[in-house]
Structure 1
C-alpha cells in the first residue's frame, strides 16, 4: 500500500470535509426550496435552464450529473409545469428544456431565499477566506476535469 504524503493526507482530509459539507448544503438547499415545491436537484436544473433552453445532456454536463438523473428530474419538473419540452431545431431527438412561467416564479423565490441565507451565513466568514476557499475548489475541479 502506498503511504500518503503530507499533501496527500491533507487532500484526503479536504475530501472528507467536502463530502460532509455537500450533504449539509443539499439539506439546506432542500429546506430553502421546499416552500416552492422544489428540491435541491430540481432547483439546480431550473437554474441551468434559466440561462436558456438546454438539452438534458447539456444540463447534465453543466451540473456534473448523469443524463439519466437529469432526465428523471426534468420529467418530474414537466409534470409539475415548471419546465416544458420544446422541439430542438438542431437535433430532433434531443428536445430542449425551457422554463415555464410557474418554473420561473418558483426559481426566483428560491433565489430570493438563497440570497438571504447566503448573506446570513457569509457574514460569519472573512471575505479573503471565502475567496481562497472558492478558488481552491475551482482549481481542484479543474484538475479533476483534466485528469
Structure 2
C-alpha cells in the first residue's frame, strides 16, 4: 500500500471512529430529554429554517430515507411538523414544533458543558484548527465527487 493509500485509510478509519464516538456523545446528551442522536440531528438541521427531507439529507450527509423515517417519528411525537413548501408542492418542509424546540433547548446545558470539556482538553486554538481541517477534508471530498459527476 502506498503512503497516500495509508493516509486515505487512516483518515477514513479515524473519521469512522470519530463518528461513532460523536454519536455516543450525542445520544448521551439527548437521551435525558427524550431524543436520540438522530432526532437531535434532524431537529438541529431545521432550527434556523424549515427544510425539505432531501435538503436535510444533503446538509447532514445522510440518506433521504433515513431522514424521512426520523422526521416521521418526530412528527408522530409532536416534535416536528410538515409544512407546505412554496417551491415544491410534493416535498413538504420539516420544521420543529414548540415541543421540539424545547427539547433541543433542554440539551443545551449538557452540550455546553461537554463542549467546554473538549475544548479544555484540546485548547481553543487547536479545536479551531481541527474544525478547519475537518471542513477542508469535507470540501475536498465534495470537490472530487463533483468532478466525478462531471466526468460521468
Q: TM-score, normalised by structure 2?
A: 0.88
What are the ranges of 5 or more consecutive residues in structure 1 without an aligned counterpart?
Answer: none
3-state DSSP class of the match of 2:90?
A: coil
3-state DSSP class of the match of 2:122?
A: coil
Is 1:90 the counterpart of 2:87 in the alignment? yes
3-state DSSP class of the match of 1:92?
A: coil
CA RMSD of aligned residues (A): 1.3
**Superposed structure 1 runs of 4+ greater than 3 Å apart:** none
Counterpart of 1:139 in structure 2 is 136
Is 1:14 the counterpart of 2:11 in the alignment? yes
Paired residues for 1:8-47 under 5 Å: 8-47=5-44
Counterpart of 2:2 in structure 1 is 4
Query: Structure 2 residue aligned with 1:61, among 43, 58, 63?
Result: 58
Between Structure 1 and Structure 2, how many residues are aligned? Answer: 144
Report the CA distance between 1:142 and its aligned residue: 0.4
Is 1:121 the counterpart of 2:118 in the alignment? yes
What are the ranges of 5 or more consecutive residues in structure 2 without an aligned counterpart?
Answer: 145-152
Report the CA distance between 1:54 and its aligned residue: 1.0
**Partner Cα separation in structure 2 for residue 63 and residue 90 of structure 1:** 21
Q: TM-score, normalised by structure 1?
A: 0.91
Query: Structure 2 residue aligned with 1:70, among 45, 50, 67?
Result: 67
| Range that drifts further, 77-86 or 113-122 | 113-122
CA deviation vs aligned residue, 1:111-139 (integer Å, no higher than 9, x gap): 33211111122211122322222111111
